[in-house]
């Protein structure tokens, strides 16, 4: 009976019905408190809900009864990584501790599943703000194993584009990775969003607006701050067009350089550079232990 309940819980998680999945798992855990698969499914439901602390606790419960549960290790790595972003401002010491735990769990995933591309993807994700070269080595290994997986190319692009100062060959390599992801999956919303993010950081306002609008159309979760960003993009383009016009003699002389810079800076601050906790509102590429929700139907992932 517990097998059927676990399968139903996995299906409910895939559908985004996280509370229903937890309700399905409750009687299983009441009858079998050491059921590692049930704890791992519960952890996954919390991870997908964005409740990283609960996901971490449930993943550790799964590992206490079955230390070799790779699925639980993946969830632990990602939930600890999510806690980094939650603590980075208020408690940097705690954030560092969570970052250490995330990397440790990700390395354990690789040890238990060295043939798994997803294990290397998760390792790259946890390392991207700590050791970019090591993160690139990990994601390149994932791409060698599964070159047709668009998610891995997105992660590579995100590692290369982790801040607005990225220029030259590294910036070009990041764009190439994102473009490859879109060739493999033309509607990969995170790849599209990253192109918009990078365009904002580069002050390419028309391009930024186009990509961000497309991302929000594909997934509304990527668009809560879209109106403010688009407004800033339009004002900046308008300011650029009027900057060289003669001053109106009927008005006080107004310097336009500072307002334009401030507007652009605000736009960049709104969209931001991803913090160590990950990407913005939702995180499809790292919120799913295998990187593919269709493949994450439970403990088999």
CATH no. for residue 147?
1.25.40.10
- What pLDDT shows up at residue 169? 83
Round to whole Å and give the CA distance between 196 and 181.
15
CA within 13 Å, CB half, 175: 12
182 & 200 share domain: no
Contact status, residue 46 vs residue 54, Cβ threshold 8 Å = yes
Inside any domain, residue 297 = no
Give the chain's domain count. Answer: 3
65 & 131 share domain: no
User: Tens of pLDDT along 66-106?
Assistant: 999 999 999 999 999 999 999 999 999 999 999 999 999 99
What 8-state DSSP symbol labels residue 58? H
162 & 199 share domain: no
Q: Which region, left, alpha or beta, applies to residue 275 given φ > 0 means left and ψ of -120 to 50 means alpha? A: beta
From first to last of the 301 residues of the chain, give the pLDDT tens digit: 588 999 999 999 999 999 999 999 999 999 999 999 999 999 999 999 999 999 999 999 999 999 999 999 999 999 999 999 999 999 999 999 999 999 999 999 999 999 999 999 999 999 999 999 999 999 999 999 999 999 999 999 999 987 555 567 888 899 999 999 999 999 999 999 999 988 888 888 888 989 999 999 998 888 755 555 555 555 455 544 544 444 444 443 333 333 333 333 333 333 333 333 333 333 333 334 544 433 443 433 4
Contact status, residue 48 vs residue 18, Cβ threshold 8 Å = yes
Inside any domain, residue 289 = no
Domain range spanning residue 155?
116-186
Round to whole Å and give the CA distance between 181 and 136.
16
Last residue of a domain, one of 64, 88, 112: 112
The encoded tokens of residue 274 equal: 């991803």
Inside any domain, residue 148 = yes
pTM of the full predicted structure? Answer: 0.75
What sign for the dihedral angle of Cα 246, 248, 253, 254?
Answer: negative
170 & 200 share domain: no
């Amino acid at each position: 009976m517990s097998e059927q309940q676990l399968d139903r819980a996995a299906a409910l998680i895939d559908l985004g019905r996280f509370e229903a999945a937890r309700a399905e798992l409750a009687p299983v855990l009441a009858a079998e408190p050491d059921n590692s698969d049930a704890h791992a499914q519960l952890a996954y439901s919390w991870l997908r809900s964005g409740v990283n602390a609960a996901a971490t606790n449930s993943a550790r419960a799964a590992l206490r009864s079955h230390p070799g549960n790779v699925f639980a290790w993946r969830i632990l790595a990602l939930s600890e990584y999510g806690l980094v972003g939650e603590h980075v401002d208020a408690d940097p010491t705690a954030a560092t501790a969570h970052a250490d735990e995330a990397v440790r769990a990700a390395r354990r995933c690789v040890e238990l599943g060295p043939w798994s591309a997803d294990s290397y993807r998760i390792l790259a994700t946890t390392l991207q703000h700590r050791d970019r070269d090591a993160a690139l080595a990990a994601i390149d290994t994932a791409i060698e194993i599964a070159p047709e997986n668009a998610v891995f190319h997105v992660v590579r692009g995100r590692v290369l584009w982790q801040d607005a100062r990225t220029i030259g060959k590294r910036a070009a390599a990041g764009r190439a990775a994102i473009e490859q992801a879109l060739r493999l999956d033309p509607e990969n919303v995170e790849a599209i969003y990253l192109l918009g993010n990078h365009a904002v950081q580069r002050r390419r306002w028309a391009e930024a607006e186009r990509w961000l609008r497309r991302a929000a159309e594909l997934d509304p979760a990527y668009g809560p701050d879209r109106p403010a960003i688009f407004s800033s993009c339009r004002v900046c383009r308008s300011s650029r067009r009027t900057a060289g016009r003669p001053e109106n003699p009927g008005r006080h002389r107004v310097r336009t350089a500072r307002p334009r810079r401030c507007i652009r800076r605000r736009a960049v601050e709104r969209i931001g550079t991803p913090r160590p906790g990950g990407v913005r509102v939702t995180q499809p590429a790292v919120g799913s232990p295998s990187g593919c929700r269709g493949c994450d139907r439970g403990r088999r992932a």
